[in-house]
A and B are shown apart, each in its own frame.
Chain A
Amino acid sequence: MAADASGGRRRFLAALLVLGLGVLIAAPPLLPKYFLDVLISVLFTAYLGASWNILGGYAGQFSFGHAAFFGIGAYTSTLLLLQLGLTPWLGMLAGGGLAAVFGLLAGYLSFRYGLKGPYFSLVTLAFAEMLRVVAVNTKAVGSSLGLVVPSAQSAPGMFIFAGKLPYYYVILAMALAAMALTLAIQRARLGYALAAVRENEDAAEAAGVDALGTKLRAMAISSFLTALGGTFYAQYFAYIDPAITFGPGVSIQGLLPAIVGGAGTVLGPFLGAFVLTPVSELTRAALRGRAGADVMLYGLVLMLVISFLPNGLMGLIGAKRAGRGRASS
């Protein structure tokens, strides 16, 4: 009886997802420019959230410094484009690789010395800030003035498009790919190892799970994906600087949708992004002219969500959190 009801709900949810996907693919060409902007922002936030979620949600390692990987991605592909004329389509892979190496290094140093919880968060924040300061003080990467990405002429082969629509489909594809990868990880052996490490590291080790190796794997995947988001940002906005790409704002943009939507779930970051981004847009529009007021209201919304929905929106709609739902959601 109960199984029937949950099966019915699952079918309903699946139908809703397919419908939503159809709308996401078909509707944008008909949308006014402003809404397309917001939708790109939503998917970009969802993508960053999904990337963060692998490490923060599944492995339970709460990074506060994913901007480090984001910035490495943005700067690597942009510098390769400007200096060597390499297309960002390839540059983003180089950036992802570099970010993964940096992530493994930072992760090894942190995990090797047993940094957990808030201590790990602070160290990741410090790594990102360190890179920001380095970028600000390095002439070769444009110092605090940043870098301008060429964007005058449409060149799809160089990840440069006329108009926003193509960027929309790129970030949609990236977001869906991140979601598919998350689902695959969750269902694989790695997903079980991640959940075990998140729940109890000692017990995980006792059950034969290499806790350090598992966390490093999550770190590498998460940082690689985040770096690709950095390249997307550079190409879409055609401008990067240290404050934007290495700043805490980007780190927060990754962790918030995951936490608000439901950390350690496949759909959480997407749900979170679809709620948070419009809320942020609306508060900004409603409180225009009062500098900072929108951020305060936004902060208030977040505090309420985190206080009353510790498992995020996914907890609210009854999809059981990471725990038992991990192999099914």
Chain B
Amino acid sequence: MTLLEVDGLVKRFGGLQAVGGLDLRVDAGEIVGLIGPNGAGKTTVFHLIAGFHAPTSGAIRFKGASIVGLKPHAICRRGLARTFQIVQPFAGLSTLDNVMVGAFNRVADVAAARGRAIEIIELVGLGGKRDVPARTLTLADRKRLEMARGLATGPELLLLDEVMSGLNPTEIDEIVALIRRVHATGVSLLIIEHVMQAIMALSHRLVVLHHGEKLAEGRPAEVARDRRVIEAYLGEEVSS
């Protein structure tokens, strides 16, 4: 079953074309990696899908229904959640309260929301930091908090925006394991990531974005050998 279908997505900011006619699909149960050089338009694609920007043109369908024009909270309620590349915790609230805000998406009762939040906090490995204010968390923990808050909303599709950037190798391994655990609970994922080893290992399929357009798509191993992809990342080979 197709969860997310993006057709001919275009976003222009004034004269600048950030996304130019992108087609993208995520099937239920899939982990899709969205990669590309800096400035390729990856985060803009997330903003468009999650309702933070309105597309200039193009269609975005989630579970068969168009979500263009819906506000972010409405999209979230339909089961499509996101994290932010630049982590955005509710700094003054505790870890638990942060995650509870997300949990209220699925349960109205305070005690039920607390129970759900506690489970998810354990899942992401923040159990020991449940009651500390989010502003005191380390970057690695804030990234976990972003994921926990997103997960608490009960998504079928979770968009992760560079949850590994700025982390050390040990922390990256932990996040990779966490993403696998999340996937095992039945959540499909669309992941923006610059940490190549991790995204190659995680993704079932990779989509490469360059100058707002799709440069290549396929299994990680194929994409890694693609000449155009290598050029986009490393620059063109100097011909002799």
- Can you list, as one digit per residue, whether each of B75-105 has a CB less than 8 Å from chain A (1) or not (0)? 0110001111000111111100100111011
Residue count of chain B within 8 Å CB distance of chain A? 36
C-alpha gap A112/B50 in the complex (Å): 19
Do A196 and B76 form a contact, CB below 8 Å, given A203-B84, A207-B153?
Answer: no
Within 8 A of B (CB), among A153-204: 187-189, 192-193, 195-196, 199-200, 202-204
Contact A192 B100 (CB under 8 A): yes
Nearest residue, chain A, Cβ from B104: A189
Cβ contact of B93, chosen from A187, A195, A208, A212, cutoff 8 A: A195
C-alpha gap A203/B90 in the complex (Å): 8
**Is A260 interfacial (CB 8 A cutoff)?**
no
Contact B88 A324 (CB under 8 A): no
Contact B91 A199 (CB under 8 A): yes
Please report whether the interface of chain A is mostly helix, strand, loop or mixed according to DSSP.
Answer: helix
Within 8 A of A (CB), among B90-134: 90-94, 97, 100-102, 104-105, 108, 110, 113, 131-133
Contact B73 A203 (CB under 8 A): no
Contact B93 A323 (CB under 8 A): yes
Question: How many Cβ-Cβ contacts under 8 Å join chain A to chain B?
Answer: 102
Enumerate chain A residues within 8 angstroms of B71, measured Cβ to Cβ. Answer: 205, 210, 212
- Can you list, as one digit per residue, whether each of B51-91 has a CB less than 8 Å from chain A (1) or not (0)? 11000000000000000000111101100011110001111
C-alpha gap A205/B88 in the complex (Å): 12
Contact A207 B149 (CB under 8 A): yes
Contact B104 A205 (CB under 8 A): no
**Is B41 interfacial (CB 8 A cutoff)?**
no
Enumerate chain B residues within 8 angstroms of A234, measured Cβ to Cβ. Answer: none
C-alpha gap A209/B108 in the complex (Å): 12
Within 8 A of B (CB), among A307-325: 321-324
Do A323 and B84 form a contact, CB below 8 Å, given A203-B90, A208-B153, A209-B101?
Answer: no
**Is A206 interfacial (CB 8 A cutoff)?**
yes
Contact B97 A208 (CB under 8 A): no
Enumerate chain B residues within 8 angstroms of A42, measured Cβ to Cβ. Answer: none
The smallest C-beta distance from B155 to any residue of chain A, in angstroms, reads 10
C-alpha gap A210/B82 in the complex (Å): 15
Q: Which A-B residue pairs are the 6 nearest by beta carbons?
A: A323-B92, A199-B90, A208-B105, A208-B76, A205-B72, A203-B88
Complex A-B: 29 CB contacts under 8 Å: A189-B108, A193-B101, A193-B104, A195-B90, A196-B90, A196-B93, A199-B93, A202-B72, A202-B84, A202-B88, A203-B90, A204-B101, A205-B73, A206-B76, A206-B83, A206-B84, A207-B73, A207-B105, A207-B150, A207-B152, A207-B153, A208-B73, A208-B76, A211-B73, A212-B71, A321-B92, A323-B94, A324-B133, A326-B93
